[in-house]
Amino acid sequence: MADETKPPAPPASAPVPPGASADKPASAPVAPSAPVAPAAAVAPKPPAPPIAAKPAAPAVDLAGKTTTAAATAAKISSRDPDDSSPLVTRRIWLGMAWGAFSAASAAALAATGRFMFPNVLNEPPAQFKVGFPADFGMGVDERFKESNGVWIVRTADDIVHRASGFYVLNTTCTHLGCTPNFLAAESKFKCPCHGSGFRPTGINFEGPAPRPLERNRIVLAEDGQILIDKSRKFQFELGQWIDPDAFLQI
């Protein structure tokens, strides 16, 4: 019974068993004439000169017989000219096809993921100049709220640095991230979302906001203009407002 499921022991003209195809050197020279080679192309050759020179480790074919590269090569070279059985079997071909398809799909998926991260952003830069100190009066300046998301405040006596100068407040409410409005009449920032209120210093005093507004880095550029750097932030509750870069003393 068991014998019937196996291919018959290969005679000289039998197809190459799949196991032998793993033996690259043996099958490679014959590949050009595969798979449906005309009879003339596989006309009797002298027994495999280049392969025999390089002995390989014995391989076990499907029939369970130990064979060598030389023996396999001899078997292939002695293929019956009329034998049109494929050297690359359907199973091997399907394996290669699925492999190629999977690789292409994976590459396309990776490319798609990369596509979602553009190389250019249409967003305002984190560092920008806002003009000379003399351009600013006392109090809160709202000119850069829409474009850059900051208030520039000039004060005669800062609560932290105890000096006159500039600091910059980030317009992001510390509650849930809305943008508060500056109410000049009441001299406070009032968030329209949930009612948080902040003093012009940035200190929170009403509503759900848990901590003061954040300040950003403010320095004088070489040309004498005020340079603001939103990539650095200073949080009051962490004691960071004391940082010299958080205040521009004039």
Partner 1 sequence: MATETKTVKPQEGYGTRFWNWLTETQVWTSVFRHERPNTDRNRVLVMLSNVFLHLHPVRIRKSGVKLRYTWCMGGLSFFLFLVLTFTGLLLMFYYRPTLEYAYSDIVGLREHVPLGIMREIHRWGAHAMVITVWLHMFRVFMTGSYKPPREFNWSIGVIMLVLTLLLSFTGYLLPWDQLAIWAITVGSNMARATPFLGHEGPGAALLALGDVKLIHAADDARFALLGGTFVGEGALLRFYVLHCVGLPLGIAVLMAVHFWRVRKDGGISGPL
Give the footprint of partner 1 on this chain (CB under 8 A). Answer: 1, 4, 111-112, 114-120
Distance set, CA 246 to CA 28, 122, 210, 217 (Å): 72, 27, 21, 5
Report the residue number, 31 or 109, with the smaller CB distance to partner 1.
109
* Cβ closest to partner 1, residue 101 vs residue 205: 101
Closest approach, Cβ 117 to partner 1, in A, equals 7
Shortest distance, position 67 Cβ to partner 1, whole Å? 25
The smaller minimum CB distance to partner 1, of residues 46 and 117, is found at 117
CB 154, CB 141: distance < 8 Å:
yes
CB-wise, 115 or 223, nearer to partner 1? Answer: 115
CB of 2 to partner 1, least distance (A): 8
CB of 125 to partner 1, least distance (A): 16
Q: How far is CA 86 from CA 51, 93, 105, 249, in A?
A: 21, 10, 28, 85
Closer residue to partner 1, CB minimum distance, 120 or 238: 120
Angle at 29 between CA 20 and CA 42, to 5 degrees: 95
Is the CB of residue 21 less than 8 Å from the CB of residue 27? Answer: yes
Least spacing, CB of residue 162 vs partner 1, in Å: 47
Q: Closest distance between partner 1 and the C-beta of residue 109, in Å?
A: 11
Give dist(CA 144, CA 227) in Å, integer: 13
Q: Which is nearer to partner 1, 2 or 134 (CB)?
A: 2
